Each structure stands twice: as C-alpha cells, then as structure tokens.
Amino acid sequence: MGGVRVLVGTSKGGFVLTSDDGRRAWEVEGPLFGGWEVYHLAGSPADPDRLYASQSNGWFGQVIQRSDDGGATWDAVGNDFAYEGEPGTHLHYDGTSRPWELTRVWHLEPSATDPDTVYAGIEDAALFRTTDGGHSWSELTGLRTHETAPSWAPGAGGLCLHTILPRPDDPERMLVAISAAGVLATDDGGESWRLANRGLVSDFMPEPEAEVGHCVHKLARHPARPDVVYMQKHWDVMRSDDDGASWHEISGDLPTDFGFAIDVHAHDPETVYVVPITSDEQHYPPDGRLRVYRSRTGGHQWEPLTDGLPQADCYVNVLRDCLAVDALDPCGVYLGTTGGAVYVSPDEGDHWTPIVHDLPRVLSVEAQTLP
Amino acid sequence: MSTEDTLGQAHAPPGEHRPRAADTAIVVRVALPHQLRHLARLRGEAVVEVTPPVTVAAVVDALEAAHPPLVGTLRDRETGRRRAMIRIYADGEDYSNAPLTTELPPVVVSGREPLRLVGSIAGG
C-alpha cells in the first residue's frame, strides 16, 4: 500500500487526505461527522487502519468514534469520561474555584503496541485510558489529584490536557502537558505524577519561575532520543535533555518565540520545526507572512522556510496540534491553519504546497506513514 | 437531586405512576436534530416503545436503549440533567423545563405527532 494518510480535525468535521510516497497528488475525503468539532483524529501505530476521533460540540457533548478500516467506516464507541470520586476544584479565570467538569477530549494518543489501548487528554485537565478499543474509559486519577491541582487555571483555550508523550522505550514513563499548569511526569504508567517545569520562566505569573502554572503549548520528541524533549511554550521555545527534569531556552534567532506548534524531523533528532506567531495578543504570523522555522542544530539557530507558503496578507494561526511529520524519506512536514489550509512539504520543509485551501478552521493534523 | 431536574434516570416515587389497565407498550415517534439522526444512523424519526406513563424521561430512556450512541448527547451522563442546548417540544408546547415526570400530550402518545428534541439556536 504505502503512502501517507493525513488526518485532519477541524471545527466542522474531520477530513482524511491520502497520497502515495511522492506526496504530490492527494485524495480528499470528508467531512466526517460534519458540523461537529473534531479536535483530534489519531491512528494506531500498531495497526494503521485503527483510527480514533474525538467529536464534540456544545449541543450534544462528547462522542468518540473508531474506525477499523482506515476511515472508510466509523462506529461511535464509549463517551463516558467520568472523573473518579469527588472531582474537587481548580481555579477559574476570575480566581474563583470551579469543580472539574468535562468539556471535551482534546487529544487521543494510541499506544505504540496495542491498537485497543489509547490515552485521552481532556478538558478540564485529566488523563483517561481505554484498553478495550474505546468502549470504556478509566481515569488515571493521580494526575488530577496532584497536590497542586486546585491551583491549576485555564489558558485561553480552557484547562486542557493537550499533549501525551509516552517514552517509546518505556511506555510506563510519560510526560503530559496542561495549559496552564505545565508539564507533569510519571514513571509508573500514570499512577503518580511529579511536576516537570524546572527552568521554565513565565513573566505573566507573579513568581515567573514557579513550579506550576506555566502555559505549555506543545511538546515533541524523537523516538530515538527520548531524553530530548522540545517545547513550544506560550512564550519561549525550550529544550530538555533529561526527559523533562530541566529545561533551557533555545529560541535563539527566531523572530518571535511565541507560538503553539512544534515537531521533530522523523529521521534527525536535532531537526526541529516551529511556527512563530506574533504574540499572545496577536495570534497571526509576524508581518503577515506564514513562515515555518527549522533548526538543524536542536535549537538556537533557526532558518525560515517560506517557499510555497503565503508571504503577504496572511493572518491565520497554526494551533498546537497542527504541525506533523511523516516517516518517509525525505521526511514530509504538514501544517494546518485556522484559515482552513493544509500544506505539505515533501522535502523536509524546503518547499510547500497546499493540499486543501478552504477547510473549516483546522484544529489538528496527524500524518500516518502507511506500510 | 430532585426528580424534576433530571432527564430520566431518577424516577417518580413508587406508586405515583400506577400502570394503566392496559399496560402495553406505547409506540412514540421522536424527531431528532440532523446530527443526532446521523449519529444514530436514522433516516427519519426514531420510533421507540414506552411502557406507560409516557413521560419525557421514559421516552429518552427508551431512545438511549435503542440507540446507544445517543447516550450522553441529550442529557448529562453524571447528573441526568437535560443538556443546556437541548429543547423539548410536544404538541406546540415547550416541555424543556417541565417536570420530567409530566406525561406527554395525547397527540404524542397516540403517535399523531412526534416528541421533538431540538438543538437550540445559538450564534448567528
């Protein structure tokens, strides 16, 4: 079979884009679940035809869909994301305490080895897991009951658990990221958690180097170098060389270090991609030019990638789950915008082409490299 | 939790709703929003069988039992409350905030009209 399947979640449905290894000609299928928000579509690394989708809206709540045939057909599976025990409270924007309440599933992270096992990161921030293909979900309560949880407060997008990063060499060890609490780490499969924010500095907090409260936007790492973790924070691009135990800034010569998305080249752990966004008050690229920045040196030195991307009058955003890579050679890079475009670069970011121009607001992009 | 602020799940006190003489199931038509019809793979209205008394709660119970993908889409799974942007109409009346043990009107019980579950207007 071969080729690539790109899974696109948008504000009005899901889309599946497929191509052969050349990544020049694309078939577009969708919308799936038309009219619903699809925050995330994800495929199982253990079975690429097993897909999961988070489908939600304000009227009808949360639905999880599953496909066993690569997206040709879908079935609604379990949607019972009940917090275990007394949910407790977290801080709200206005400083009052609010009970934990499910809004939606932000991110689905299928196991690398078992198609029936998937982690789900939800808003309000908690981590759930299914081991039966999505029919039932159980909370890993140690995270939400962390001693600092009552002090967690939402970022602009809500109190969302948006990143789940199991180590490929030891899935019991994971990092998760929550806006706006920061990074937490577990060594025991999610039973217990510790903060992993040392080195982060956030000037919007009264104590900028506090242990918790950082608005971490996205984490990424290369499977061959699991100790190295890259982070796009609210402001600052960061790097850890010790699996999140400490962080240092690698923003270097970026035009702005605000942004949402970050990803790592499939074949080179030192090649990293970010999409700089003007500021937290101006969620669009600097100068109206959509530029991906690539570092070949693990940070600090960055080069703009512009060929094929709009370089005038462009005021879209690129959200945190909207940058992805495939595992072909050369590595393909994918980018989705709030303006409804999905771009592909089949050559590591050197040249870009839109696959689609006019989808709804793109919420997530995942690239599956098919066997 | 009172019996009146939940959409089913909680029921009236024992004895309040005694079975009628002819305690046979009533066939009730239910009109759903497009997105929920699609989720439940319905081409048109849902048709469910309800043992009297025919209340909103009983109809939603029967609807969820017949179409499990709808569980959680009409009422909150935890509290049983009607989701905020679901409205409930029958015979031209708004039952959204009526006690859920209220029996539905004859035109619905007789099958002449559907119980209408509607997504409320929100946004432009």
**CATH number of the domain that residue B52 is part of:** 3.10.20.30
pLDDT for the residue numbered B121: 83
Q: How far apart are CA A175 and CA A165, in angstroms?
A: 5
Per residue in A177-200, pLDDT (tens digit) is 999 999 999 999 999 999 999 999
In a domain, B87, yes or no: yes
Q: How far apart are CA A269 and CA A271, in angstroms?
A: 6
How is residue A282 annotated by DSSP? -
3-state class of A345 per DSSP? strand
pLDDT for the residue numbered B100: 80
pLDDT for the residue numbered A325: 98
pLDDT for the residue numbered B23: 60
End-to-end CA, chain B: 35
> Which tokens is A35 given?
């009219």
pLDDT for the residue numbered B22: 47
Please name the residue ranges forming H helices in chain A: 141-144
In a domain, B66, yes or no: yes
Measured between CB atoms, which of B39, B76, B86 is closest to A63?
Answer: B39
pLDDT for the residue numbered B101: 86
Residues of chain B with pLDDT > 70: what percent?
Answer: 80
pLDDT for the residue numbered B8: 52
Q: Which residue of B has its CA nearest to A83?
A: B78
Measured between CB atoms, which of A34, A35, A58 is closest to B122?
Answer: A58
In a domain, B76, yes or no: yes
Contacts of B34 in chain A (CB under 8 A): 35
For residues A16-32, average pLDDT: 98
Q: Does A99 touch chain B (CB under 8 A)?
A: no
Measured between CB atoms, which of A59, A79, A80 is closest to B85?
Answer: A59
A59 to B78: CB separation less than 8 angstroms, yes or no = no
CA dihedral A172, A177, A182, A188 (to 10 degrees): -10
Shortest CA distance to B32 belongs to which of B109, B116, B90, B104?
B116
CA dihedral B35, B36, B38, B39 (to 10 degrees): 120
- Find residue A178's DSSP bridge partners: A161, A182
- Give me the CATH number covering residue A166: 2.130.10.10
Confidence category of residue A136, pLDDT binned at 50, 70, 90: very high
Confidence category of residue A258, pLDDT binned at 50, 70, 90: very high
B85 to A36: CB separation less than 8 angstroms, yes or no = no
Q: How many domains does one find in chain B?
A: 1
In a domain, B79, yes or no: yes
Q: Is the peptide bond before B46 cis (omega within 30 degrees of 0)?
A: no
CB pairs under 8 A between A and B: 44
β-strand pairing of A194-195 with A13-19: unpaired
Are A367 and A3 contacting, i.e. CB atoms less than 8 angstroms apart?
Answer: no
For residues B39-66, average pLDDT: 96
Range of the domain at B64: 26-119
Q: What are phi and psi of B105, to 5 degrees?
A: -70, 160
For residues B30-57, average pLDDT: 96
Q: Does A35 touch chain B (CB under 8 A)?
A: yes
Task: Quote the mean pLDDT of chain B.
Answer: 84
For residues A22-33, average pLDDT: 97
- Find residue A97's DSSP bridge partners: A91
Confidence category of residue A1, pLDDT binned at 50, 70, 90: confident
Q: Does A72 touch chain B (CB under 8 A)?
A: no
Per residue in A76-133, pLDDT (tens digit) is 999 999 999 988 999 999 999 999 999 999 999 999 999 999 999 999 999 999 999 9
Range of the domain at A265: 4-369
Per residue in A311-362, pLDDT (tens digit) is 999 999 999 999 999 999 999 999 999 999 999 999 999 999 999 999 999 9
For residues A150-165, average pLDDT: 95
Interface test with B, best of A36, A59, A74 (most B CBs within 10 A): A59
Q: How many domains does one find in chain A?
A: 1
Interface test with A, best of B37, B41, B70, B71 (most A CBs within 10 A): B71
Number of residues assigned to chain A: 371
Examine the pLDDT at B11 and tell me if it is beyond 90: no
In a domain, B51, yes or no: yes
Measured between CB atoms, which of A35, A79, A82 is closest to B35?
Answer: A35
pLDDT for the residue numbered B99: 83
Q: How far apart are CA A127 and CA A352, in angstroms?
A: 35
Residues of chain B with pLDDT > 90: what percent?
Answer: 68
